[in-house]
Amino acid sequence: MSLLRVDGLEKKFGGVNAVEELSFEIRPGAVFSIIGPNGAGKTTLLNLLTGVYKPSAGRIEFDGHDLTGRAPHEYARHGIARTFQNLQIFFNMSALENVMVGRYMQERCGLMAALLHSPRLARAERACREDAAELMRYVGLQDYLSAASDAMPYGALKRLEIARALATRPKLMLLDEPAAGLNPTEVLELDDLIGKLTGRGVTVVLVEHNMRLVMGVSDHILVLDYGRKLAEGPAQAVRNDPRVIEAYLGSSATHDGSFGDAVAKAVAVGVEMHR
Amino acid sequence: MNSSRILTRLASPRTGGLLALAILIALLPLALPNRYFYDVAILVGLNAIVCVGLNLLIGYAGQISLGHAGFFGLGAYGSAILATRYGWPPLAALLATTVAVALLAFIVGRPILRLKGHYLAMATLGLGIIIFMVLTTEDKFTGGPDGISVVPFRIGAFALQGEHIWYWVVGVLLLLAVWLALNLIESPTGRALRALHSSEVGAEVVGINAAEHKLMVFVISAVFASVAGSLGAHYSGFVTPSKAAFLHSIELVTMVVFGGLASTYGAVVGAAVLTTLPQLLTSFEDYEMMVFGALMIGTMVFLPRGVVPSIARLLASRRKAVPDDKADGK
Amino acid sequence: MSAQFMQYLLTGLTVGAIYALVALGFSIIFNASHVINFAQGEFVMIGGMATVWLVAAGLPYLPAILLAIAAAALVGLALEKFAIEPARDASVVTLIIITIGASIFLRGLAMVVWDKGFHALKPFTGDTPIAIGGATILPQSLWVLGVTLVIVLALSWFFGRTLLGKAMLATSHNRLAAQLVGINVRMVLFLSFGLSAALGAIAGILIAPITATSYDVGIMLGLKGFAAAILGGLGSGIGAVVGGLVLGIAETMSAGYLSSAYKDAIAFVIILVVLFFMPSGLFGRRGGERV
């Protein structure tokens, strides 16, 4: 039983096929990673999976519902949440308020209730605040509970986006390069956090360049190249796939030496960490 | 409630600010020497009501409208025509007009709000000017460029006439408008608006229907403008198309931006300053336009956040321990 | 073709040529800075009013015209320097208010320096109407069409063949890249304002003998020029010209055949229709948003 099913997905921008004939399935409870060289279409795919882009062709089915071509807020309503490669933090509010916005779907009040500010609303607001604070602590942001979002360091902001995404109570969480710009310690913390997420029952999809992280957390990997599926399968299989190695030779991913070498090292470290 | 909790509640924009505004409105007549000043105060109040609504659209939701005087004008003419020409009870005319304007805003708002930035500005500009032209041209209904006179506002046998009565009417309605706006801002809906101002896609992916929210604020701000327009018509006793003119739309936007975007009290301050300014400048009559234009440029260049938020920041940086909601600028 | 149709066509082309010049001014500034210059119409006003004033002060025609254009260009440069530049990274709303404020300021200034009355400029080569196909056209209209054509050709040569012009085009396509190849984008911005102001002034001088000029002619002309620019596609030179001509003809035709009362509304209806259905206009670039 798949949680997310993509069939023949295509996205054209003018003459460019950003994504072509893409089909795959995501099982619930897994950590599914999408990797590929720069420009392979990973972020485009994420945008398609959250309704930010409309597909030129193909079908997206989530939890039994056909969500093809729907608006982003509808994807959110069905339980898909995401973070962004270029942070979309609401810098005009505090960190806590950012997470509180994530709770919007649970909180929705009618226009009249908002205009007249019923006492029920005041109580709901307090509950919302507490819930948001709890989520911030969960992702490790307990030091920033009363911080303004524009006063936070980059690594904290990335976690804030995750907290905000979690606040939507998603079934599926799409993380777009969460490790970008993080130092190795922070990456380890991220690894932990992803583990916590799956422990909580959230299926995680990771778009990443950091091979160490990918090999360490993933159950299943999809490799994209020029918008097409290059390879798919469990981490070990993908690591050894000659097509994948060839696609990555000479790329600017975050490692030294040849791809196969780095992947081997990463798998070793990953295996070590999960002992 | 112990005293520190009372103090915290007083410091909040909703309770404390409203109280301060109410006190100001109540005591202001003591400082107004004659009817002329009452008249100015009433104009300030009416503009402030429009600006509070417009601020929700521009400051909170991050949209723009260069045609809001159109809604004000429609409100004015709607009430004027229904009450004067067709003899409707003024309250019924007001309600019917408000509903009609809300409907227009709803219908036109959908396609218009799909636009962003400059394009949105120009579309609203076009809308406002078209409304102005219709009001000026359809003189059978509207009396053309000279306008029409308007009967006084009557509720039953009681007629609202004279600056003193209208001062209190407008004052109370302004308090109501500010209260409604602040309630909206502090609700999850208000947070959703601020979110969508900051990052529309970020808001959408947490389930906020951006188009719906923008439309809602657009309609609300149109309603505020329409009601103010209707009241203004009954108060002045006549309406002319200039109420819907492009210049009036610009004045309204300037008041909002000058007073402070995303600041409800800022909108009130902006309305107050920029309504009274021309009165003060009558001695400079010929230079009035130059001063106004220079003021617009100067404010945007030196105080881009507007007066009230800039002052709030100044005060916040002086005092080290400041509660968080002050910094957000309400 | 009926004489009446011909008449409307000729009038429409004349008016359209003016709109085209104003629209070109908008596009040039928009390309350089992504600012919609609401004060564009005031350059038109300055062109006409300054020429009237200089001629009345005793200057011969041609020097008066050249001086007026130069004056408008200077005002354009001043606008960029003192109003736009200090607010370089400001939001759309802020920039819009700044240029509107500038337009109000300039109008107020014109009112003070000159006056509130209407003034006519003497036509360049007399006012005996010329007959064309059953319709008549004023010699001044021929000047309008002729000069506009020359300007459009000159601009396409400038942007297509000269280094400076190409630098300006490059900046409009990709500001950062232009900076990286050593183009002084600030200078490009500066010059764009000067150039647009000059174009506006020329339009104002051309039209002043036909429709009298006054301190507030800028408002409507500016807005209509803007409508033409949007119709043609904001930022496109061809679009500005085509948009201007189409708008001019549409206005005169609908005034003639439908209702003259709503003649001025045509431009704004066009704005709404274009923005609703075809926001990038006839020739504009279709852009998508990258997240």
Chain A neighbours (≥3 Cβ pairs under 8 A) are B, C
Q: Average the pLDDT over A96-115 and give the result.
A: 85
pLDDT of residue A255: 44
Is B31 part of the contact surface with chain A (CB cutoff 8 Å)? no
Q: Which residue of B287, B295, B304 is in closest CB contact with C112?
A: B287
Q: Output DSSP code: residue C213.
A: B
Alpha carbon of C118: minimum distance to chain A alpha carbons (Å): 49
DSSP string covering A7-40: EEEEEEETTEEEEEEEEEEE-TT-EEEEE-STTS
AA letter at A167 = A
Q: Which residue of C86, C112, C261 is in closest CB contact with B301?
A: C86
B74 near B244, Cβ under 8 Å?
yes
Tell me the range of A30-44, B91-105, C62-76 where mean pLDDT is highest: B91-105
pLDDT of residue C288: 46
Instruction: Evaluate whether residue A86 is within a structural domain.
Output: no
pLDDT of residue C116: 80
- Return the higher-pLDDT residue of C187 and B104: B104
State the residue range of the domain holding A23. 4-79+170-273
Test mutation, A49, A115, A116, A128, chain B, max B CBs within 10 A: A115
**Least confident piece of the model among B111-115, B142-146, B171-175, B237-241:** B142-146
**Least confident piece of the model among A4-13, A109-118, B20-29, C214-223:** A109-118
Mean pLDDT of chain A: 84
A127 near A119, Cβ under 8 Å?
no
Which pLDDT band, with edges at 50, 70 and 90, does B2 fall under?
A: low
- Return the higher-pLDDT residue of B68 and C289: B68
Does C288 sit within 8 Å of A43, measured CB to CB? no
- Indicate whether A154 and A68 sit together in one domain: no
- Indicate whether A185 and A261 sit together in one domain: yes
Ranges of chain C with pLDDT below 70: 1, 285-291
Residue of B nearest to C34 (CA): B118
First-to-final CA distance of chain A: 29
pLDDT of residue B4: 67
Mean pLDDT of chain B: 86
pLDDT of residue C285: 66
Does C90 sit within 8 Å of B287, measured CB to CB? no
- Indicate whether A64 and A103 sit together in one domain: no
Which pLDDT band, with edges at 50, 70 and 90, does A227 fall under?
A: confident
Does C101 sit within 8 Å of B297, measured CB to CB? yes
Instruction: Evaluate whether residue A15 is within a structural domain.
Output: yes
Which run of H or of E encompasses A6? strand A4-13
Task: Output the six-digit token pair for A228.
Answer: 């097409």
CA distances to A89, B300, C238, C281 from C284, in Å: 32, 30, 9, 5
Where are the alpha helices (H) located in chain A, listed in sequence order?
42-49, 72-78, 95-102, 104-107, 111-116, 119-138, 154-166, 184-199, 211-217, 235-240, 242-248, 259-273
The number of folded domains in chain B is 1
Q: What top-level class would CATH report for the domain C3-122+136-277?
A: mainly alpha
Give the B window 46-85 contacts with C, CB below 8 Å.
58, 64, 66
B326 near B312, Cβ under 8 Å?
yes
Place of tokens 């039994």: A64
pLDDT of residue B11: 62
Place of tokens 């045609």: B67
CATH code for the domain in which residue A212 is found:
3.40.50.300
Give the B window 171-210 contacts with A, CB below 8 Å.
180, 183-184, 186-192, 194-195, 197-199, 201-210
At residue A80, the 3 state secondary structure works out as strand
Taking the alpha carbons of A105, A110, A115, A116 in that order, is the dihedral positive or negative? negative
Q: Is the pLDDT of residue A126 over 60?
A: yes
Q: What is the pLDDT of residues A148-201, one digit of tens each?
A: 998 999 989 999 999 999 999 999 999 999 988 888 888 888 989 999 998 888
Instruction: Evaluate whether residue B23 is within a structural domain.
Output: no
Which pLDDT band, with edges at 50, 70 and 90, does B226 fall under?
A: very high
Residue closest to A137 by CA, chosen among A174, A97, A106, A96: A96
Residue of C nearest to A83 (CA): C291
Beta strand pairing status for B153-155 and B148-149? Answer: unpaired
Given A100, A134, A161, the domain boundary residue is A161
- Indicate whether A174 and A267 sit together in one domain: yes
- Indicate whether A54 and A143 sit together in one domain: no
- Return the higher-pLDDT residue of B7 and A144: A144
pLDDT of residue B328: 43
Which pLDDT band, with edges at 50, 70 and 90, does B186 fall under?
A: confident
CATH code for the domain in which residue B285 is found:
1.10.3470
Taking the alpha carbons of A241, A242, A246, A250 in that order, is the dihedral positive or negative? positive
Q: Is the pLDDT of residue A24 over 50?
A: yes
pLDDT of residue A265: 59
Q: Is the pLDDT of residue B249 over 90?
A: yes
Is B317 part of the contact surface with chain A (CB cutoff 8 Å)? no
Q: Average the pLDDT over B129-138 and give the result.
A: 91
Q: Average the pLDDT over A2-22 and give the result.
A: 87
Residue of C nearest to A43 (CA): C291
- What residue ranges do the domains of chain C occupy? 3-122+136-277
Instruction: Evaluate whether residue B300 is within a structural domain.
Output: yes
- Indicate whether A157 and A75 sit together in one domain: no
Instruction: Evaluate whether residue B13 is within a structural domain.
Output: no
ipTM of model: 0.86
Q: Is the pLDDT of residue B178 over 80?
A: yes
Place of tokens 């923008």: B214
pLDDT of residue A263: 60
pLDDT of residue A266: 60
- Indicate whether A117 and A252 sit together in one domain: no
How many angstroms separate the CA atoms of B217 and A185, rounded? Answer: 45
Name the β-bridge partners of A82.
A174
pLDDT of residue A253: 46
Q: Is the pLDDT of residue A215 over 60?
A: yes
Chain C neighbours (≥3 Cβ pairs under 8 A) are A, B
pLDDT of residue B110: 92
Residue of C nearest to B131 (CA): C265
pLDDT of residue B13: 65
